Amino acid sequence: MNTSRSKKITHVDASGNPRMVNVSDKMITKRVAEASAEVWLGREIVSHLAGQEILTKKGPVFQTAVLAGVMGAKKTSELIPFCHPLAIEDCDVRITLIGETAHIYTKVVTTGKTGVEMEALTAASIAALTVFDMCKALSSQMVIGEIALISKSGGKSDFRRKKKI
């Protein structure tokens, strides 16, 4: 059986109209999701490195992007139409510079009836966009890429990405 065709699209009703998923009958469990994003910066931007931080006129790039990522996770339900508002219990955003690429890792945790995949992906995306915004005066050659869900657990099914995209 082809599982990709047997899975039901959850955010539409029987008539094909968009709708929020009813989670009232779901079990309350600990939900965890991890996501990642990458921003290729280039030599011009990396030359502004001071220790493990890039400093611009706007301030410390990675520290600001971490804060923005956490804020993004907390506001996901305001940005994505059918995301349920969640009480986020933990949000970890880390940025590591390897060569000319900023690697962003996020992990979001809640205890509830629905997962935090979108919150983890939003945190990674907003952190990447913040890095771009803070560095764009130095160079517009940056590339945001490979935003991906790494794993999720605690719901009906667990997931772990097998390989890099």
Query: Model pTM?
Result: 0.88
**d(Cα 116, Cα 91) in Å, to the nearest integer?**
10
Mean pLDDT of 86-92: 97
The CATH number of 26-154 is 3.30.70.640
pLDDT tens by residue, 126-158? 999 999 999 999 998 999 999 999 999 998 889
| Catalytic sites, residue numbers | 133
Q: 84, 109 in Cβ contact below 8 A?
A: no
pLDDT tens by residue, 33-75? 999 999 999 999 998 888 889 988 999 999 999 999 999 999 9
Identify the CA nearest to 148 among candidates 131, 162, 130, 134: 162
**What is the number of residues in the chain?**
165
Q: 73, 106 in Cβ contact below 8 A?
A: yes
Give the β-pairing of 53-56 and 49-50.
antiparallel
Distances (CA, A) of 62 to 84, 97, 136, 139: 29, 9, 14, 16
Alpha helices in the chain (DSSP H): 3-6, 43-46, 61-74, 76-79, 117-135
Cα–chain-centroid distance for residue 159?
15
Cα–chain-centroid distance for residue 125?
5
SS3 for 66?
helix
Mean pLDDT of 8-33: 81
Where along the chain do its domains lie?
Answer: 26-154
